[in-house]
Amino acid sequence: MHIPQKLKIFLWKACHNILAMNYNLFIRKIVKNSTCSICQEAEETVEYALLLCPWTRAVWFGSQIQCSPTPNNVTSFTKWLLAIVNRLKADDGNSFIFQHKQLSPKTTIITTTSKEAEFRQSTEQKEKVKEVANNRHRKQITWRPLPDGWMKISIDAAFDKETGQAASAAVIRNCDSKVLYGSTMNFKTISPLAAEAHAMRDAVILSKNLQLGRCLIETDSLVLVQTIKSRNKFWEIDAVLKDIFELINNQSEVGLTWTPKKGNELAHKVTEMASLRVLGR
């Protein structure tokens, strides 16, 4: 049976308890909260996130095997997975023992083939969805129209881990996509995410100093946007985040949004030009 490589890797990581769950990240002092991101009811271990969270339990029960994981039957993800495999393998044997049905290799093959067909159909549907998404991505426009009276600040950052040098750029455009202003910054920091956070803080300060009013700040750093919007803490950029939160609280008409790299080409090119002077690229 064909199984996508990323699924094999995911299961391997889950069985070895090295998935980036909040509990594992909390132990390594990467995040300050170990609770489940979905239900906020318990610590987000591998077992809880994949099996015991109320949302994931509903998904498992609605699946083909209709299982209902509980703390009583889940001690570790590996043991649970092996139990499910053994259960599927024993289906024909149970039919023979308890229902007195004739045990037939042919029946087992048919059952296995049916399960394989179900899996193939599922993966093919996902591939089709992925293909449609890719087609949409190819057709994406590089400018998202703004409402009348709004401004957009497109930002990007570059970072050199060997020297710690970073550069950022901000490009201000009006609702007609006309470039009104641009700025660059050169500084030292500790990571690519920290560089993006510095760029975001500079953009919020820029919108305040220029009194732009209704303004949308756009970046291709999805992690940064999610962190800011969820008000989560991230030790790597904690000090910069505090500045951003305080600045945004005082500017009610400033919004943040994510865009794919393809939609952030102008800011990216300006950042490249700025980094050439500092990063030696």
Asked if residue 144 belongs to a domain, the reply is: no
Of 167 and 253, the structure prediction assigns the larger pLDDT to 167
- Cα 32 to chain centroid distance, Å, stands at 18
Residues 90 and 175 in one domain: no
Of 82, 105, 138, which one is at a domain's C-terminal end?
A: 138
Residues 160 and 134 in one domain: no
- Which range is least confidently modeled, 68-82, 216-230, 243-257? 68-82
In this model, does residue 141 exceed pLDDT 60? no
Residues 190 and 235 in one domain: yes
Of 54 and 128, the structure prediction assigns the larger pLDDT to 54
The β-bridge partners of 258 are 219
Asked if residue 218 belongs to a domain, the reply is: yes
Asked if residue 145 belongs to a domain, the reply is: no
- The CA-to-CA distance between both ends of the chain, in Å, stands at 46
Residues 35 and 129 in one domain: yes
State the residue range of the domain holding 19: 5-138
Percentage of the chain beyond pLDDT 90 is 28
Distance CA 62, CA 238 (A): 40
Of 138, 167, 193, which one is at a domain's C-terminal end?
A: 138
Across the range 135-139, mean pLDDT stands at 52
Residues 96 and 193 in one domain: no
Residues 91 and 208 in one domain: no
Domain count, the chain: 2
Residues 122 and 156 in one domain: no
Residues 156 and 130 in one domain: no
Residues 168 and 119 in one domain: no
Across the range 64-68, mean pLDDT stands at 62
Of 124 and 207, the structure prediction assigns the larger pLDDT to 207
CATH of the domain at 234: 3.30.420.10
Q: Tell me: the pLDDT tens digits for 33-53?
A: 999 888 888 999 999 988 888
Asked if residue 15 belongs to a domain, the reply is: yes
Residue 96's pLDDT band (cuts 50, 70, 90): very low
